[in-house]
Amino acid sequence: MDKTLLSLGHGYSARALADRLIPQGWRIIGTTRSADKRDDIAATGVEPLLWPGTDIAPLLAQVPHVLVSAGPGPEGDPVLGALREQITAAAPHLRWAGYLSTTGVYGDHGGDWVDEDTPLTPATKRGLARVRAETAWQSIPDLPLHIFRLAGIYGPGRGPFAKVRKGTARRIIKKGQVFSRIHVEDIAQALELSIHSPQPGAIYNLCDDDPAPPQDVIGFAATLLDVPLPPAMDFETAEMTPMARSFYAESKKVRNNRIKEALGWQPQYPDYRSGLTDLLKRETSS
């Protein structure tokens, strides 16, 4: 069981981690809420488990590594809501527990830098829910918890190319707006390093080295595709869904020094230019 990971809410980032661990002989058990997704998960070499719907308490009592990707809902953290007692009981024997959070916990900083010691002042309901979830996980005694605060995730199947090709992409301009990003494979690399070098209680920001305005990313994608630049639109007057507009409520640049120093992590894609160039190369070759 040494090389066994229970992935609760086996999503995009967890799949990238599994792709790294399975060739090393790891057993990955991934939960999903959807019976329709079990075959897709199994096709990647991960053992699918329908949850809720399966009693996973016995499994929690055996596995040494747990990754939690499921985000909080209106009722709080769904994993703790269902399994707090079992996780508390299992905590002393776990070697590593990872919780995937978000840099949204820092809130808006007007484009200034933040790090893991920055006070948490979320500007959105989603950010506040994440702060509460982090606090709830931190309250479990003896849990070897590692919190990873992820910037905006992109990677295979998640990038700006589809919208740019369709002509539906827009360059939304908001003065001073800047975001940090992270390639999914750099997330997976960081999680793997942490599993091999546990530091219970650690909190790590995961982002690349080049925070940038969102319109620059869309523009670079168009340049790579050799298509006209998507139209530039002012944020104040652009038609946007409330969800899309909420992403612009926060502007900050995120530091990643801590995980570099603690684990020797270096992003394979240190900026969006290298990441998008590689994504397009993969799309073309496939």
- Compute the Cα dihedral for 148, 105, 158, 222 and give only its sign: negative
pLDDT of 252: 97
Which token pair is 80? Answer: 């703790």
**Phi, psi dihedral angles at 106 (to 5 degrees):** -80, -20
> Alpha-carbon distance 187 to 134, whole Å?
18
CA distance 84 to 91: 10
Whole-number Å distance between alpha carbons of 33 and 88: 23
* pLDDT for 161: 92
Is the per-residue pLDDT at 125 higher than 80? yes
The tokens of 247 are what?
């992403």
Residues 6+ apart with CB under 8 A from 74: none
Question: pLDDT at position 89, please?
Answer: 96
Q: Which domains does the chain have, with CATH numbers?
A: 4-155+182-208+254-268 (3.40.50.720)
For residue 285, pLDDT over 80 is answered with: yes
CA dihedral sign, ordered 22, 277, 203, 199? positive
**CA nearest 151: which of 122, 184, 174?**
184
Average pLDDT, stretch 182-202?
98
The model's confidence at residue 259, banded by pLDDT at 50, 70 and 90, is very high
pLDDT for 78: 95
Span 211-247, pLDDT tens digits: 999 999 999 999 999 999 999 999 999 888 888 888 8
Residue 1's pLDDT band, with cuts at 50, 70 and 90, is low
Q: What is the mean pLDDT of the chain?
A: 95
**The pLDDT value given to residue 228:** 93
Rounded (to 5) percent helix, strand, coil in the chain: 40, 20, 40
Q: Is the pLDDT of residue 182 over 70?
A: yes
**What does pTM read for this prediction?**
0.96
Contact 194, 187 (CB under 8 A): no
Q: What is the pLDDT of residue 102?
A: 97
d(CA 269, CA 127): 26
